Amino acid sequence: MADQEETFPIQSSPGGSDSRELRTENKSEKPNGTSSKSPSSQTTYIQQGMEGIKVYLHERELWVKFDEVGTEMIITKAGRRMFPSFKVKVAGLNPKTKYILLMDVVPADDHRYKFADNKWSVSGKAEPAMPGRLYVHPDSPATGAHWMRQLVSFQKLKLTNNHLDPFGHIILNSMHKYQPRIHIVKADENNGFGSKNTAFCTHVFPETAFIAVTSYQNHKITQLKIENNPFAKGFRGSDDMELHRLSRMQSTKEYPVVPRSAVRQRVGSSQSPFSGEVQGLATPSTLSSQYSQCESGVTSTSQDLLPQSGSYPLPHEHGPEYHCIKRKVEDDCHSGEHSYKKAYPESSSSEEDHYYRPVGYPQGLGLAGGPYRSESSQRQACMYASASQGAEPVPSLEDISCNTWASVSPYGSCSVTTMQPMDRLPYQHFSAHFTSGSLVSRLGGVGGHASPQLGDGHHPAMYQSSMTHQTLGRQCSPGAGIQSPAAGLQGNEYLYTHGIPRTLSPHQYHTVHSVSIMPEWNENS
């Protein structure tokens, strides 16, 4: 219980502001070597007690290598893991407090990209985002001590291009750019999802942004994957190996010229013809660091964020460290970094199951997500709330919450409401229904239960009141936040979740789609 939530007093808004500035300038500082350790992410805090939390990206150097070339992640119907894997070291949590760690992947901007002339460029407007799904770390909820004890791995998270995916995987559109985010939600009783003050913080590592593809476009990326992913070891080899393989497969026929893959090593090696690095996009690498810390999220203005069109949206600021939050954080920050060394067993414990939760929109938790997409009005709405990433300074917690939740639930709303129709549809099945009032519960449960409701899907049904009304209410309604649906918001948020059919996937995947949080009704009742 109660342990408290707080370690610190609120501060809320911390950093946001700071962070915000975008910087673009700096780019890379990071590679200092610390690699993973340095927290480069940007954080948004929503409530108290979350300020001193630091999150360090594991193997950041590897991420930066990919980022410098323009990271691509394969998406398949069955679901494909990300590589590099998203693993983090967390510091600054209250050892006794329980937290839920989850991840989502939000659109980085509103564009559709194409890879031509060895570089990425914008080729049009992005397709409407689907309701985002959240991947709840299987160990959730767990104490701060648990999460800080070892690396927290999200490696089992899978990406799919199947909009009707029944497994709870995160659904993305090919040739679109995305930004993974990690959210830490306090799961105290006092703070369940639904409760009024749901405290949570969001961390974004710009260097983990990527373009979803059904097949690799840039050979350099293929090469990096082969060289670093143990499962692709079979493609490494020296030339001999390759030749052998090729010969077997093709037996002489063609040696590929340069088609995409063919070249693997060689190409990779460096020179690839393509190589260009350029990516029009963005290479984020530079950006990367920015994010670090803590902001508060919010957003009101999300606008800022938005568009960026061109390239990378991410706001950055990089600062490395950042300010996290201010005070305390600082300490953490530093320390944090080191903290981890590789040894951790990978994932935190069980990774086995992952739970996925759908979030409404990409923004997910509102926080950040949104930023990018801003464009569409509809979305925006949603986003607004969230957005912020870069942008604004501190919103109020409330906002955040709103957003947050919004993300969580609202989304639903957002999505539901405003969003394009598409979104809603499909997912229904999965609802996992977490019903419990609080996220926590859900989360906790998440894994476990699946729920019954599948069928309907969408009924948006369930709502929970969980979220703080206040929070939500305030902002949301008012304008700031999400507009919409918020409706749900109004006090409640809805999150409805869809249950995932367990059958399909065991609990592991629980995704939640959108939605609103339900109260207890159902489940718990």
Q: What is the C-alpha separation between 399 and 46, in angstroms, rounded?
A: 8
Which is nearer to DNA, 118 or 261 (by Cβ)? 261
Q: Does 348 bind DNA (CB under 7 A)?
A: no
Which is nearer to DNA, 278 or 439 (by Cβ)? 278
Which is nearer to DNA, 154 or 193 (by Cβ)? 154
CB of 177 to DNA, least distance (A): 14
Q: Cβ distance 324 to 14 under 8 Å?
A: yes
Nearest-CA neighbor of 197 among 364, 407, 439?
A: 439
Residue 170 three-state SS: strand
Q: Cβ distance 525 to 441 under 8 Å?
A: no
Which is nearer to DNA, 1 or 241 (by Cβ)? 241
Region near DNA per CB under 7 A, out of 193-201, 215-223, 321-329, 370-378: 215-223
Size of the site for DNA (CB under 7 A): 44
Among 74, 151, 416, 495, binds DNA (CB under 7 A): 74
Nearest-CA neighbor of 12 among 67, 62, 53?
A: 53
- One symbol per residue from 112 to 131: x for binding DNA (CB under 7 A), - otherwise; what is it? --xx----------------
Q: What is the DSSP letter of 464?
A: B
Q: Does 222 bind DNA (CB under 7 A)?
A: yes
Residues 470-509 that bind DNA (CB under 7 A): none
Region near DNA per CB under 7 A, out of 94-102, 191-199, 241-249, 473-481: 241-249
| Phi, psi of 347, deg, nearest 5 | -75, 170
Cβ burial of 249 (10 Å; 0-12, 13-18, 19+) is exposed
Strand order in the sheet with 158-160: 80-81, 158-160, 170-171
Q: Does 225 bind DNA (CB under 7 A)?
A: yes
Q: Does 81 bind DNA (CB under 7 A)?
A: yes
Which is nearer to DNA, 53 or 221 (by Cβ)? 221
Q: What is the DSSP letter of 189?
A: G
- One symbol per residue from 30 to 49: x for binding DNA (CB under 7 A), - otherwise; what is it? --------------------
Which is nearer to DNA, 237 or 276 (by Cβ)? 237
**Buried (b) or exposed (e) across 270-299, using 16+ Cβ within 10 A?**
eebebbbbbbbbbbbbbbbbbbbbbbbbbb
Longest dimension (CA), the chain: 69
Q: Does 429 bind DNA (CB under 7 A)?
A: no
Q: What is the C-alpha separation between 457 and 8, in angstroms, rounded?
A: 40
Q: What is the C-alpha separation between 50 and 204, in angstroms, rounded?
A: 15
Q: Cβ distance 87 to 346 under 8 Å?
A: yes
Q: Does 174 bind DNA (CB under 7 A)?
A: yes
Q: Does 269 bind DNA (CB under 7 A)?
A: no
Among 54, 87, 264, 379, binds DNA (CB under 7 A): 264
Structure tokens at 422: 């598409």
Region near DNA per CB under 7 A, out of 32-40, 76-84, 321-329, 419-427: 76-84
Q: Cβ distance 458 to 515 under 8 Å?
A: no
Which is nearer to DNA, 268 or 519 (by Cβ)? 268
Nearest-CA neighbor of 427 among 359, 370, 505, 508?
A: 359
Among 1, 9, 33, 77, binds DNA (CB under 7 A): 77
Region near DNA per CB under 7 A, out of 8-16, 224-232, 425-433, 490-498: 224-232
Among 213, 306, 383, 397, binds DNA (CB under 7 A): 213
Peptide bond into 307 cis (omega under 30): no
Which is nearer to DNA, 112 or 459 (by Cβ)? 112
Residue 176 three-state SS: strand
Q: Does 342 bind DNA (CB under 7 A)?
A: no
Among 229, 269, 309, 349, binds DNA (CB under 7 A): 229
Q: Does 175 bind DNA (CB under 7 A)?
A: yes
Q: Cβ distance 517 to 493 under 8 Å?
A: yes
Strands in 19-66 per DSSP E: 42-45, 54-57
Nearest-CA neighbor of 111 among 315, 381, 379, 372?
A: 372
Among 260, 326, 354, 507, binds DNA (CB under 7 A): 260
Which is nearer to DNA, 178 or 235 (by Cβ)? 235
Q: What is the C-alpha separation between 507 and 167, in angstroms, rounded?
A: 9
Among 76, 121, 309, 524, binds DNA (CB under 7 A): 76
Residue 296 three-state SS: coil
Residues 138-167 that bind DNA (CB under 7 A): 156, 158, 161-162
CB of 130 to DNA, least distance (A): 14
Region near DNA per CB under 7 A, out of 86-94, 219-227, 310-318, 394-402: 219-227
Question: Interface with DNA by CB under 7 A: which residues?
Answer: 74, 76-77, 80-81, 83, 114-115, 156, 158, 161-162, 174-175, 213-217, 222, 225-226, 229-235, 237, 241, 245-246, 248-250, 253-254, 256, 259-262, 264
